[in-house]
A and B are shown apart, each in its own frame.
Chain A
């Protein structure tokens, strides 16, 4: 599988604590192994949890790009929270961008406080679809909760990225990386999560 463009710009985003940095680095390690030039930038705020967090991956066959994606320059947005998909589309969207979003919402604290209203599912989905050439929605957290571990939502979503064949990485490569970076006791759960993610798209 070849990159659609060079550099290929991938954004992995979500809310602090959802594990988006983990999957960004995992994808990065695999692509680096496969001989791609690669840079990842990580943007997170002043808190452990709860803020908007995103990683930008610059993938190229020719040279190492800087970690920052130019405005309107994303090729693929992988998002653990749909409002964050929209936020990334606002900055990095364009006519050709593909987005893949977890359906589980995380309410900003301003919504709890009654200052803001979280957009309706219909409106939010509509906006994401309007701004993406192709928009996929995956119930990654629902599946992870079914597996008894909401923490693996990120791996379910990664499975969906594999299933949709949006990146030049294979299931076996992901598993191989997991074997060397995840605790052995967690492998089976993560394999399951990955497979369930693949199945959502296949």
Chain B
């Protein structure tokens, strides 16, 4: 937390990001080992831990993927250490194969602990989906808690370590965008002395689930015990009148939104609020107790109706079975997306008939009138200087030369922006981490079924190590016909430039073995071509030559460092780029701004001619090779 050196750092309260509060809590709990693969909104957890790794004697790593990260952390726990793994919702799906086993066996008897933080992204602000991880706690027989505020996050993760240690199982802490990326004031607890944790794995231990049934029962028995603890947990709290006819049950972000909406409607003294933080095993008796006098219950939660279903289940067959449980299934709250104060307000207004005043009708009418034609959207695109703009430009040219009959599969990273309206829209199919190669491997067999057009899959370097390797091996082994393109930009750029196995340094900034994508692919025995994506002609030519070969797996590595990484390291502009106004044909051409679309290009509203926005241009100069009239000129800048 070195960037949080505010005056309050000397006192007991500091202003922290949610993910930093989780880090603080983990440090207070004496975490020794932390591992993760980056994913928004979870990435700051490992980043911040890495900054204090040396002074706190921690092992902190960016692992190849979430499953590997969880396995390493679980092993540390089996060796008696306190460990943490963190991931986004999609990452949990990768780790689950291991985690479903790990909860059957527990973590051995050496007194270690493992907390698995999973950061969901309701509304999919930075994700392909808003999958609700809470279902997975039940699926994996693992306890799960969810904080309602940044301040609570610190205390709760600390508790999760204790719980994990006491019951010998890993514990899920569910975060969400508004917590991980919210900031607030956090009351700190004491930090233990920074000591080196002592690993002591039991070399006679048998930590495996192969006495399946018995382990299943052990896991269920453990959850029964934890349920009793959760029934009395201090993290579950009731606010407002005990005998209210309307009860709001809120978890996570639902609590602050619900409380604010009640305030706005003046209902804070009439409606009871049950804050539910222990999600699984579900505190059935607690819910029954508070539901006794209620006629209606409104559930506020993100994303799916998880608590809603569990509350209905809890009340079924009791005296409270007649209580109306309202929420997503009743249509009071939308099924998808995050909870906002407005959504809570709307649901409460619908139930109580009370309303509160927003902006006046006159204001809203004016708003409609003055914004109607001019409020244009701000589409997403690659940064000025991004190598991907060159890669996709060349790909576009190569595909057009093939008459457009090419099937392209994509992957997860900054290059995903290709599928957005302002991208090149070349990728036909795009799913999970590593799916590019799995999909292309299948399409690469379609020649057996009468379709033999070129198939191209595209992934980044970090994604290559995460999940592409197994697919690539399978494609080579099964002799699929495909071209696999690796966009090697020396970073896990989309999530904030974290290190990975190909960059030559590790999470804590020390030198590390650099695993070379080209050498690795060559070792797999397939042809590998390397090109610079800013050599637009060369890259197009390479793609066309590879497409002409038709058979087997062919690999193209497009190497150029992410511009933001380069700029940070070198702090220089390699060129000064200018548009020769005499040569520029303006709208008659428009190739640079309307097709290449680098945000550092400007179009003069009157003449239609291009110019360069000095403050945005990184000086890469690639636009010069896009201009058909050689109007964009680049001048070397003296070093």
B24 to chain A, nearest CB (A): 15
Indicate if A65 sits at the interface (CB-CB under 8 A).
Answer: yes
Contact A126 B379 (CB under 8 A): no
Most chain B CB inside 10 Å of its own CB: which residue of A32, A51, A87: A32
> Given the complex of chains A and B, what is the CA–CA distance between A123 and B623 in angstroms?
32
Q: Which of B7, B125, B256, B371 contacts A43 (CB 8 A)?
A: B125
> Given the complex of chains A and B, what is the CA–CA distance between A117 and B178 in angstroms?
33
Indicate if A72 sits at the interface (CB-CB under 8 A).
Answer: yes
- The residues in B between 351 and 370 inclusive whose CB is less than 8 angstroms from any CB of A are 358-360, 363, 366-367, 370
Indicate if B330 sits at the interface (CB-CB under 8 A).
Answer: no
> Given the complex of chains A and B, what is the CA–CA distance between A98 and B309 in angstroms?
44
Residues of A within 8 A of B498 (CB): none
What is the chain A residue whose CB lies nearest that of B590?
Answer: A114
Given A39-B182, A67-B182, A48:B494 Cβ within 8 A? yes
Q: Which of A25, A51, A84, A131 contacts B370 (CB 8 A)?
A: A131
Contact A127 B178 (CB under 8 A): no
Residues of A within 8 A of B493 (CB): 48
Indicate if A5 sits at the interface (CB-CB under 8 A).
Answer: no
Residues of A within 8 A of B378 (CB): 15, 50-52, 83-84, 87, 108-110
Contact B417 A47 (CB under 8 A): yes
Q: Which of B6, B253, B363, B366 contacts A66 (CB 8 A)?
A: B253
Q: Which of A37, A43, A51, A180 contacts B6 (CB 8 A)?
A: A180
Indicate if B380 sits at the interface (CB-CB under 8 A).
Answer: yes
B565 to chain A, nearest CB (A): 10
Q: Which of B7, B151, B259, B601 contacts A112 (CB 8 A)?
A: B601
Given A39-B184, A93-B367, A113:B597 Cβ within 8 A? yes
- The residues in A between 66 and 118 inclusive whose CB is less than 8 angstroms from any CB of B are 66-72, 83-84, 86-87, 89-90, 93-95, 106-118
A71 to chain B, nearest CB (A): 5
Indicate if A46 sits at the interface (CB-CB under 8 A).
Answer: yes
Contact B257 A126 (CB under 8 A): no
Interface size on B, residues (CB 8 A): 74
Contact B149 A107 (CB under 8 A): no
- The residues in A between 16 and 42 inclusive whose CB is less than 8 angstroms from any CB of B are 17, 25, 28-29, 32-33, 37-42
- The residues in B between 334 and 366 inclusive whose CB is less than 8 angstroms from any CB of A are 340-342, 345, 358-360, 363, 366
Residues of A within 8 A of B397 (CB): none
Indicate if A141 sits at the interface (CB-CB under 8 A).
Answer: yes
Indicate if A199 sits at the interface (CB-CB under 8 A).
Answer: no
Contact B345 A127 (CB under 8 A): no
Q: Which of A45, A49, A71 contacts B126 (CB 8 A)?
A: A45
Contact B178 A68 (CB under 8 A): yes
Contact B341 A112 (CB under 8 A): no
B211 to chain A, nearest CB (A): 45
Interface size on A, residues (CB 8 A): 69
Given A70-B345, A90-B367, A50:B599 Cβ within 8 A? yes
Residues of A within 8 A of B615 (CB): 141, 144-145, 150
Contact A66 B377 (CB under 8 A): no
Given A48-B493, A108-B377, A110-B376, A89:B125 Cβ within 8 A? no
Residues of B within 8 A of A69 (CB): 341
Residues of B within 8 A of A46 (CB): 40, 125-127, 380, 416-417, 494
Residues of B within 8 A of A95 (CB): 359-360, 363
Contact A109 B379 (CB under 8 A): yes
A8 to chain B, nearest CB (A): 14
Given A25-B183, A29-B15, A43-B125, A113:B422 Cβ within 8 A? yes
A73 to chain B, nearest CB (A): 8
Residues of A within 8 A of B341 (CB): 66, 68-70
Residues of A within 8 A of B371 (CB): 86, 89-90, 127, 131
> Given the complex of chains A and B, what is the CA–CA distance between A67 and B373 in angstroms?
31
Given A44-B126, A46-B416, A68-B178, A33:B6 Cβ within 8 A? yes
Indicate if B181 sits at the interface (CB-CB under 8 A).
Answer: yes
> Given the complex of chains A and B, what is the CA–CA distance between A102 and B380 in angstroms?
21
13 new A-B contacts, CB < 8 A, other than A66-B256, A94-B358, are A32-B14, A33-B6, A39-B256, A40-B183, A46-B125, A52-B378, A67-B256, A108-B379, A109-B422, A112-B594, A113-B595, A131-B370, A180-B7
Give 9 CB contacts A-B under 8 Å.
A15-B378, A40-B182, A41-B178, A66-B260, A67-B256, A108-B376, A109-B599, A112-B603, A181-B6
Q: Which 5 A-B pairs have the closest CB atoms?
A: A66-B256, A150-B615, A119-B374, A72-B359, A32-B15
